[in-house]
A and B are shown apart, each in its own frame.
Chain A
Amino acid sequence: MTGKPRPDLTDTAAAPYWEAAARHELVLPRCDACGLVFFPPRELCPGCWSRELSWRAVGGGGAVWTFTEVHVAFYDDTWADDVPYVVAVIELDEGPRLLVNLVEPDLARLAIGDRVEATFEDRSEGVTLPKFRVVKP
């Protein structure tokens, strides 16, 4: 089995995001010039091109914007032990959207608009991935 794709932890524009995830915290870049909170992290603000950015802790609350249950391990056996798994786009309360996995999904009840909260998965290869779970009403 080949390794799963892992983010580039050496990318200086994104390193604080992954370092925070390792502490089980969710942070997003915020533009000091125009106030935009955005994702994915990059060296400039996509709203106004300012390079004056700060990191802002966010609550990890949001809602399911859309989702799919993936039933096939595409290309090779990398994801064979994971299928079926749920890929979802989450809209955070702060605005940005993230593509993540939903953990322990209840597929019979899962719906767009469901409230979610952040959780964190420490992967064996030394990466922590922010993930989300549906908040029980």
Chain B
Amino acid sequence: MSVLDGIAIVGVAETAIGKLPGRSAISLQAEAGVAAVADAGLTKHDIDGVFSFSGYSQAMMLHAARVAEHLGLRPELAVVADVGGPGTHHAALLNVAAAIDADMCTAALCTYGENGISIRRSGRGRAPGTLTGGEDFEAPYGQIAMISGYALFAQRHMHLYGTTSEQFGAVAVTSRHHASLNDNAHKREPITLDDHQASPMISSPLRRLDCSLISDAGGAFVVTSIDRARSLGTPYARILGYGSAATHHIPSQAPDLHELGGPSAARRAFERAGLTVADADAVYIHDACTFSVVAGVEALGLCGEGEGGPYAESGALALGSACPVNLHGGMLSHGHAGGVFHLLDAVRQLQGSAGRRQVDGAEVVVAHGNGGVFSTFSTMVLGRGQ
């Protein structure tokens, strides 16, 4: 038994995604939070824990207390976790599970999101380059954006394994196809491999269409005990297994590709779940760039080390395959405001509420990926509540 066995994700919600001028990050998180509580069949007065993260474009101290204040809540717990990427949301689940087990919380609201586009117009944003940790030894060389960090690893993968730009393009095209099935996605118009190859180079080998979007958006989920979830009578998701890993902070200090934390996070999560990746009906991989998906399918064991490029090119990522990837469209096409939407869509698959992108009868869905530049990894195996 683990405390994670005792919790259920009972409600999920997201705001509109895209350019939302005039919307503060806190207002987006609050809007998603209110909607997630309603989706759970709960009310404001049921919420006695708040877990959140500010996002990096307007990093803030004590952010969960800010969310609670904004929503007029005075919870016992107002806690921030910052693991990076999906690890941030997964760590909130770990915190909530412990709090519920300790009788410190009965229903927690977890809110995320930022106004990554509009913060720039307001002049109040902070370049993530000031937060990435390489201020003395990397930023002076112009390593100030996450995407050029990712490019370093994409380049090395191409060198070691023969991966091609066209294989990265296959990830972009499939993500956009999935987004075309999602009415709330930021970018829905289909793209072709030619579009990908014609898109301008950002940081070689990554082109514009290899990069995740920047979006204004909020997303939230509600967690309660399994017993409470059953009494609510709404579909919910359970945690079957969780694993994580941290290997470095700045890109120059990373181990080589095969020693990054992805495979160990995934292995730990599947072992704790008593499952293998063959049991997964869909996976959601934090796609800061197309290469993240190539690395992710390898880490999860959907293909062998170094085989992620051919795997992506084979069509195995698309809806209709045995284990489709990023059915909401991912950060490449659905939206990027901290990466919570992968978890939300994984829950929707298990609730059976994913609409045109639903995998029929989904029982096991995996959310996986990294924070920083492959610095931390987190894998959560989710199952349909019953």
Residues of A at the B interface (CB closer than 8 Å) are 4-8, 11, 14, 39-40, 65-72, 74-76, 79, 82, 85, 87, 89, 97-101, 111-113, 127, 129, 131
Whose C-beta in chain A lies nearest to the C-beta of B206? A68
Tell me the interface secondary structure of chain A in the complex. Answer: loop
In the complex, the answer to whether A129 meets B129 with C-beta atoms within 8 Å is: no
* B201 partner residues in chain A, CB cutoff 8 A: 69, 71
In the complex, the answer to whether B155 meets A4 with C-beta atoms within 8 Å is: no
In the complex, the answer to whether B140 meets A75 with C-beta atoms within 8 Å is: no
Interface residues in B, total, Cβ within 8 A? 32
> What is the 8 Å Cβ interface bit string for chain B, positions 199-236, against chain A (1 contact, 0 not)?
01111111000000000000000000000000000000
Whose C-beta in chain B lies nearest to the C-beta of A68? B151
27 A-B contact pairs sorted by A residue (CB < 8 Å): A4-B140, A5-B135, A6-B140, A7-B135, A7-B136, A11-B136, A66-B153, A68-B152, A68-B206, A70-B145, A70-B203, A71-B202, A71-B203, A71-B204, A72-B203, A74-B127, A74-B144, A75-B145, A82-B142, A87-B148, A97-B252, A98-B137, A99-B251, A101-B141, A113-B159, A127-B140, A129-B141
* A66 partner residues in chain B, CB cutoff 8 A: 152-153, 155-156, 159
Say if the beta carbon of B139 comes within 8 Å of chain A.
yes
* B152 partner residues in chain A, CB cutoff 8 A: 66-68, 87, 89
Additional 9 contacts, C-beta under 8 A, given A4-B142, A112-B156: A5-B135, A65-B156, A68-B204, A69-B204, A70-B145, A70-B203, A76-B127, A99-B141, A99-B143
A4 to B143 Cα, complex, angstroms:
11
* B206 partner residues in chain A, CB cutoff 8 A: 68
Tell me which of A7, A40, A68, A99 contacts B155 (CB under 8 A).
Answer: A68
* B142 partner residues in chain A, CB cutoff 8 A: 4, 70, 79, 82, 85, 87, 101
Determine which residue in A14, A74, A101 has the highest number of CB atoms from chain B within 10 A of its CB, and name it. A74
A2 to B224 Cα, complex, angstroms:
48
Given A14-B136, A68-B148, A87-B143, A74 and B251 touching (CB < 8 A)?
no
A5 to B144 Cα, complex, angstroms:
9
Determine which residue in A65, A70, A97 has the highest number of CB atoms from chain B within 10 A of its CB, and name it. A70
A50 to B238 Cα, complex, angstroms:
45
Residues of B at the A interface (CB closer than 8 Å) are 127, 129, 134-145, 148, 151-153, 155-156, 159, 200-206, 250-253
In the complex, the answer to whether B134 meets A99 with C-beta atoms within 8 Å is: yes
A101 to B143 Cα, complex, angstroms:
9
In the complex, the answer to whether B129 meets A7 with C-beta atoms within 8 Å is: no
* A39 partner residues in chain B, CB cutoff 8 A: 137, 252
A124 to B152 Cα, complex, angstroms:
28
A70 to B206 Cα, complex, angstroms:
10
A14 to B136 Cα, complex, angstroms:
9
Tell me which of A8, A67, A69, A100 contacts B136 (CB under 8 A).
Answer: A8
A87 to B155 Cα, complex, angstroms:
12
Nearest chain B CB to A81's CB is how many angstroms away? 11
A7 to B335 Cα, complex, angstroms:
34
* A113 partner residues in chain B, CB cutoff 8 A: 159
* B127 partner residues in chain A, CB cutoff 8 A: 74-76
A124 to B144 Cα, complex, angstroms:
20
In the complex, the answer to whether A97 meets B151 with C-beta atoms within 8 Å is: no
* A8 partner residues in chain B, CB cutoff 8 A: 135-136
In the complex, the answer to whether A87 meets B140 with C-beta atoms within 8 Å is: no
A72 to B253 Cα, complex, angstroms:
24
In the complex, the answer to whether B129 meets A40 with C-beta atoms within 8 Å is: no
In the complex, the answer to whether B145 meets A74 with C-beta atoms within 8 Å is: yes
In the complex, the answer to whether B139 meets A5 with C-beta atoms within 8 Å is: yes
In the complex, the answer to whether B252 meets A99 with C-beta atoms within 8 Å is: yes
Determine which residue in A5, A65, A76, A112 has the highest number of CB atoms from chain B within 10 A of its CB, and name it. A5
In the complex, the answer to whether B129 meets A87 with C-beta atoms within 8 Å is: no
* A67 partner residues in chain B, CB cutoff 8 A: 152, 155
* A7 partner residues in chain B, CB cutoff 8 A: 135-137, 140
* A129 partner residues in chain B, CB cutoff 8 A: 140-141
Given A68-B148, A71-B201, A75-B127, A5 and B140 touching (CB < 8 A)?
yes
